[in-house]
Structure 1
Amino acid sequence: MFKKILIANRGEIACRVIKTARRMGIATVAVYSDADRDAMHVLMADEAVHLGPPQANQSYLLGDRIIAACKETGAEAVHPGYGFLSENADFCEKLEQAGITFIGPKPKAIRAMGDKITSKKLAAEAGVSTVPGFMGLIEDAGHAAKIAAEVGYPVMIKASAGGGGKGMRIAWNDEEARDGFDRSRSEAKNSFGDDRIFIEKFVEEPRHIEIQVLADSFGTCVYLNERECSIQRRNQKVVEEAPSSFLDAETRKAMGEQSVALAKAVDYESAGTVEFIVDKNRNFYFLEMNTRLQVEHPVTELITGVDLVEQMIRVANGEKLPFTQDDVKIDGWAIESRVYAEDPYRGFLPSIGRLKRYSPPEEGPLDGSPASSTGPAGRAIGGGAPIVRNDTGVAEGSEISMFYDPMIAKLCSWGETREAATDAMAEALDRFVLDGIGHNVPFVAAIMQHPRWRSGEISTGFIAEEYPEGFDGTEADAPMRAKLAAAAAILAKASKRRGAGPMPSLGENLALSRESGRRIVFIDEHRLTVDLGEAGVTVDGVDLGKVETDWQRGRRTARLAFGEETLSLRVDPIVGGFRLRLKGIDVDAKVYEPHLAKLAELMPVKEAPDTSNLLLCPMPGVVVQIAVAEGETVEAGQTLAVIEAMKMENVLKAEHKAVVKSVPVKAGDSLAVDAVIMEFET
């Protein structure tokens, strides 16, 4: 076995690989850029080597520096994680020439499957069902529109070397095809150094389902069932689950066997993923094969008990797989929520800055019970309690940079059923404390409550269909509003217990008699009367019964039991009350004694300044293009500017007809959030 390996990556995946290597007794070497000097993966590894400036093309993408770091530290092998050099056949060959093992497939397979155009041709030859499209060279935007019309709208425009949703656009007409081609090619060149684009038919009402394969060098190749990744935004996966609630055993077997056939056709070794698009009739079509570890690999590990990183290392070391296809089972259900540094209340735009607070839910059984033992994939063995797993590469105080992917963590849950896994995920998200930047935890929490998610009736269009105007939070209904009002009143009472000792633990009745009484709670425009008494709590005359909590002043989360229902809340103090968050709901609850409530209602409300005549930068980023000039009249929907942030290009368009008065910025400028890009005449 290897004595030392280098992880040619950063963030949560580098930390993930280090954990398995440590368990296997293998020393690790981290690499880092200037921006990651104090990153978690650097602190976790046994050694660390500096690569260069923050920009990936000056640090993490420099294969020669990675090889030099291996020689400097004596690392015998390199695990690439995903992204960066993970699917770079030239880098793999250079490692071989240097006598360093690549923990992944051979260059032949990377070259064949890593190119989306070549892989589709090989898939068709191997008998794999493929999507109709054009795989040849596309000359320009006009040529792209012509091809798209011939294939038949809608079409998907994709980067040949792409991945992670970058370089991908859906076009429904010629204009969108031309614009999508230009944007996809630009993103592809910046992200992958390869601007080749292809076009294929877009399957309507599709589900994105992928098959995990694992192969050794002795001819054994197995599939570890499927993952469903249909909850996507801008072709970027947000929520994944394993197995899929849509597949039946027959379709699963057919997809798995075709995936294995494709892997064997290119003499595949290591872990890989074959991605399919599946229509409403369970017809499936090959999309691409990712010759690396996938971001969403934890859900497969949680339902199979297989540590994919460990098997990748063992296969690279020349070992046989320790199991066959007949040994692969499905145990329970697993869900992964990607926690991104993007603000759902600002159109999901990227957010950067320092994590002022970062306290994810504790890993392990969600009910706090001890597991009899823990398997290699982080799943408890010997108990059916729901499990929480959090793959992350940050800690409180970490800096979220504009130079890299916006992922903060991958929060995972496991349960014996899909419902149990969903409930566990919902509970874990409500316990997640994350402050300092915008993030998508409220949005994912709302998805966990959505009827379509709960029913399993999802598709890749779920987010666009259910949140067409973006996400403004989930509105609390009357019963939930009553519970939030009761919670605010109880927390206000508890916050005044200075010197009175700790609050009782959850499960013990909250003694209200000492400070019982009436409180008026304002939640948005609603006025609720809360009565705290020995027998329990009533809100607007409705008896909620006894309410129990273990909350203590200063804590950022609280658990309150309303009978058999337990709510986990994010709690942040504000003037006169608390900001309360759960299940995608975000409210300010102001708590007053009755005589003060009358005065509070007379207080004026501060109005926000009018910025309707300004185009403001929605996130920190770099100006890629200013598409209009001063004095120009623009129409609704016209492109005004393109801003790049976290490796994604964001097109800013006019909301209505207007005349451009001034443009104080130019291409190449770095802008802060809310910086003025242009002003319009009023």
Structure 2
Amino acid sequence: MVVHNLAHCFLSKLPIHSRNLHGGRRSIRHWREISTSGPINCREPKFDKVLIANRGEIACRIISTAKKMGVKTVAVYSIVDAHAKHVKMADEKVLIGGPESSESYLNIERIIRAVRSSGSEAVHPGYGFLSENANFVEALEREGIAFVGPSSEAITRMGDKLESKRLAIEAGVNTVPGFDGIIRDSAHCVEIANEIGYPVMIKASAGGGGKGMRIARNDLEARDGFALAAQEALASFGDNRILLEKYIDNPRHIEIQVLGDKFGNAVHLFERECSIQRRHQKVIEEAPSTFLDDATRSSMGMQAVSLCKKIGYHSAGTVEFLVDQNRNFYFLEMNTRLQVEHPITECITGIDLVEQMLRIAKGNELKLKQDEIKIDGWAIESRIYAEDPYKNFGLPSTGKLYKYQEPKLAKGMRCDSGIQEGCEISIYYDAMISKLIAHAADRRSAIDKTLESLDSYVIRGLKHNIPLIRDILTERNFLRGDIHTNYLSKTYGGKFQTKPLHCSEKVNLVSITAALYAAWDCRNKTLLNGPNLKTQSEWELSIELLEESYDVKLLKTADTTTIRIGDEVFQITNGFNLVNPIIETRINGTPIIMQLLSKCPSGEFKLIYKGETRRLNVLTKRASELRRFVLVKPKIDYSKIIKSPMPGLVKSVMCGVGDFVSNGQNLCIIEAMKMQNTLSSDAEGVVKEVNVKEGDAVSDDDVLIILE
């Protein structure tokens, strides 16, 4: 691998303007003067080396296809990504800066210097970062470097939500009612919200990915939502313009994948259902949608292609719609880039979207014809995030992956990841670990494949959202296809909680734990006494699970362990390896998969069963009898202790020592990965301690404020 050292770029003071870092916009009026109909007359670019201006799984994804096409690849990386997977996969690598995105992946000048130093002839932006930055595309054009994406004009016009809505109307696309202008301040936001009628959606004009978006159902929420949305928008996009539109209750989020070339041709590749979201960010996507009929699908596809042709769009793009319960659909926005969820479209159409993007960027005409593109089967994508699903459906979690083992992929399964064992998930970038994609003949089969893979997905060192993903995939409404963008709050209420175990699941856990204990005990005694000494084969145990105690008798032979719990008998097939975290066995002939998370000398076993971590305590019969003499620890009241729910940076502290605060009062704002979370009091009282100030970095469960 060739290494280009650009360390001097970020150690020296460069004349970098903030609008270039975050994507300033040209005048909307300027672009209205440009006609974009018909073929684009331009010099046909030819390139054999492409620089990927991104990181993580999408960089790995692009590198894989580029290599298949014989195109050499160059990876850029920040200091914290020096040993990242995408850096190892590429043919060449270039160090571009420090950990902050503004010092590296968002820094236009440093990216272009990397292009020059590596001799790259093209840049693929992936998604996020500079993928929808018109200034970046213009800078590449001035350098004579091909951009694997649309023109700067298309990015500018579709990047501005007001202009994109006007163009959508002109192209005959259905749109959501709203205010045709920029909201000036909080008071203006409240005024316009009352004119439109609550509920309303407050969102960043230059936004995307759920950042800078708030729902308001009254004046107070409109006032607060405007301030928070503007702050997030400025931090994420360098643009704090806010717009307002009618919020459609319980809609579906359905998007149409499009491809256009530089000769005026455009096609759609059907839809993706992206309704399962938290904080306006997608969690599970599937293609096709369970909700659309052929007529609606065709109409949405035709309108998406019409918009594509209206703006002279070339490359891969996505036209997003909100769809109400009567299948009325409304234009939401157009993403002028590759989407995170593009693999499910690839699965059902057999079309490699990255390959098409590279071909179009090289000046090739689309060979795809609309009537030749068909839907084959069903695909589901589950986004695996480093986050705690029990906190607001997923607050970020950071840490080192001391154990990472992707599931064995059956036919039709795909795992797109950008990490490997030993990697560290930091607060600087997106929390995504991987995307698990299942393709099968029908929806139920795709769900079953996903569940099996999730059960054998080993992630250690930080919290992750597999428990939530797995629960959704087995939930009654999801299985019926009865979903919408408010699915999580409607299904789980205020927060996700561990699902109660059925009696059969409890005895499965107890049986497996007993068998593990016997295997562990035999191994330890063999190590101590030698292999020739006869080991124990029978045990009497007491196993505790969820404050219930089970008396268990075991008989272990070479092939099986017989477990007796009361009047029930369970035969467990031996052979699982105590070193392997995955336990694959059979209980009375039925296959079962669990994971052994940990085993303590005290007798506590932690098992992951159907996505949930379960604790079981194993005691010998004698130890169980003595247990009743152990004192119980008193419970501590934590209602007056405000802890950080996640790692992040303190953006604001809204109280001081001696202040009286009421229940529900906002006390502090923590930001992680450009998302802001407001912490409020769970009790009333006087502030005794404030342990943080604005700008401090905090970890999960750090004590921030104490009341008395």
Using structure 1 for the length normalisation, give the TM-score. Answer: 0.91
Distance 1:159 1:422, change over 3 A: same
Query: Is residue 120 of structure 2 the alignment partner of residue 75 of structure 1?
Result: yes
Match of 1:507 in 2: none
Match of 1:650 in 2: 677
Counterpart pick for 1:285 among 330, 351, 370: 330
- How far the C-alpha of 1:338 sits from its partner, in A, is 1.0
Match of 1:588 in 2: 615
Q: In the TM superposition, what are the counterparts of 1:545-560 in structure 2 within 5 Å? A: 546-548=571-573, 550-560=575-585
Code of the aligned partner of 2:473: M
Match of 2:545 in 1: 523
Query: Is residue 334 of structure 2 the alignment partner of residue 269 of structure 1?
Result: no
Query: Is residue 693 of structure 2 the alignment partner of residue 669 of structure 1?
Result: no
Aligned equivalents of 2:421, 2:636: Cα separation in 1: 33
Counterpart pick for 2:503 among 478, 481, 490: 478
- How far the C-alpha of 1:28 sits from its partner, in A, is 0.6
- How far the C-alpha of 1:467 sits from its partner, in A, is 2.1
Q: In the TM superposition, what are the counterparts of 1:478-497 in structure 2 within 5 Å? A: 478-497=503-522
Distance 1:195 1:37, change over 3 A: same
Measured against aligned partners, the alpha-carbon deviations of 1:346-368 in whole angstroms (never above 9, x if no partner) come to 432211121111111133x2xxx
Match of 1:326 in 2: 371
Distance 1:392 1:615, change over 3 A: same
Cα pair 2:401 2:422 within 8 Å, conserved: yes
Aligned equivalents of 2:178, 2:589: Cα separation in 1: 54
Distance 1:408 1:569, change over 3 A: same
Code of the aligned partner of 1:260: V
Code of the aligned partner of 1:345: Y
Match of 1:505 in 2: none
Aligned equivalents of 1:603, 1:427: Cα separation in 2: 41
Code of the aligned partner of 2:274: C
Query: Is residue 96 of structure 2 the alignment partner of residue 51 of structure 1?
Result: yes
Q: Which runs of 5+ in 2 are unaligned?
A: 1-45, 527-534
Aligned equivalents of 1:517, 1:666: Cα separation in 2: 56
Q: In the TM superposition, what are the counterparts of 1:609-620 in structure 2 within 5 Å? A: 609-620=636-647
Query: Is residue 140 of structure 2 the alignment partner of residue 95 of structure 1?
Result: yes
Match of 1:624 in 2: 651
Aligned equivalents of 1:657, 1:260: Cα separation in 2: 56
Q: In the TM superposition, what are the counterparts of 1:366-515 in structure 2 within 5 Å? A: 385=411, 387-498=412-523, 515=537
Cα pair 1:482 1:539 within 8 Å, conserved: no
Counterpart pick for 1:176 among 213, 217, 221: 221
Aligned equivalents of 2:164, 2:212: Cα separation in 1: 17
Deviates more, 1:457-466 or 1:544-553: 544-553
Aligned equivalents of 1:321, 1:258: Cα separation in 2: 19
- How far the C-alpha of 1:488 sits from its partner, in A, is 1.0
Distance 1:659 1:500, change over 3 A: closer
Aligned equivalents of 1:92, 1:31: Cα separation in 2: 17
- How far the C-alpha of 1:453 sits from its partner, in A, is 1.4
Match of 2:110 in 1: 65
Distance 1:601 1:328, change over 3 A: farther
- How far the C-alpha of 1:549 sits from its partner, in A, is 5.3
Counterpart pick for 1:113 among 155, 158, 183: 158
Cα pair 1:356 1:397 within 8 Å, conserved: yes
Cα pair 1:476 1:585 within 8 Å, conserved: no
Distance 1:421 1:606, change over 3 A: farther
Cα pair 2:522 2:536 within 8 Å, conserved: no
Match of 2:42 in 1: none
Q: In the TM superposition, what are the counterparts of 1:337-376 in structure 2 within 5 Å? A: 337-347=382-392, 348-363=394-409, 365=410
Cα pair 1:214 1:223 within 8 Å, conserved: yes
Over the residues paired in the alignment, what is the CA RMSD in angstroms?
2.0
Give SS of 2:141's match: helix
Match of 2:247 in 1: 202
Distance 1:448 1:515, change over 3 A: farther
Measured against aligned partners, the alpha-carbon deviations of 1:318-340 in whole angstroms (never above 9, x if no partner) come to 11223211121111111111111
- How far the C-alpha of 1:635 sits from its partner, in A, is 2.4
Code of the aligned partner of 1:642: I
Give SS of 1:652's match: strand
Cα pair 2:382 2:435 within 8 Å, conserved: yes
Counterpart pick for 1:167 among 206, 212, 226: 212
| Paired-residue identity, % | 49
Measured against aligned partners, the alpha-carbon deviations of 1:573-607 in whole angstroms (never above 9, x if no partner) come to 32214211122332112233434333345544445
Aligned equivalents of 1:135, 1:281: Cα separation in 2: 26
Q: In the TM superposition, what are the counterparts of 1:31-50 in structure 2 within 5 Å? A: 31-50=76-95
Aligned equivalents of 2:539, 2:671: Cα separation in 1: 55
Aligned equivalents of 1:293, 1:198: Cα separation in 2: 25
Deviates more, 1:660-669 or 1:64-73: 660-669
- How far the C-alpha of 1:609 sits from its partner, in A, is 4.5
Cα pair 1:494 1:552 within 8 Å, conserved: no
Deviates more, 1:622-631 or 1:160-169: 622-631
Aligned equivalents of 2:515, 2:439: Cα separation in 1: 32
Q: Which runs of 5+ in 1 are unaligned?
A: 366-384, 502-512
Aligned equivalents of 2:615, 2:376: Cα separation in 1: 41
Cα pair 1:492 1:577 within 8 Å, conserved: no
Cα pair 2:255 2:318 within 8 Å, conserved: yes
Cα pair 1:530 1:537 within 8 Å, conserved: no
Measured against aligned partners, the alpha-carbon deviations of 1:537-562 in whole angstroms (never above 9, x if no partner) come to 55534546543354111111112223
Measured against aligned partners, the alpha-carbon deviations of 1:157-182 in whole angstroms (never above 9, x if no partner) come to 11111111110111110100110000
Deviates more, 1:668-677 or 1:210-219: 668-677
Code of the aligned partner of 2:56: G
Deviates more, 1:492-501 or 1:546-555: 492-501
Cα pair 2:511 2:570 within 8 Å, conserved: no
Give SS of 1:255's match: helix
Counterpart pick for 2:357 among 312, 316, 324: 312
Deviates more, 1:266-275 or 1:18-27: 18-27
- How far the C-alpha of 1:305 sits from its partner, in A, is 1.3
Match of 1:29 in 2: 74
Aligned equivalents of 1:272, 1:162: Cα separation in 2: 16
Query: Is residue 61 of structure 2 the alignment partner of residue 16 of structure 1?
Result: yes
Give SS of 1:345's match: coil
Using structure 2 for the length normalisation, give the TM-score. Answer: 0.88
Aligned equivalents of 2:525, 2:313: Cα separation in 1: 66
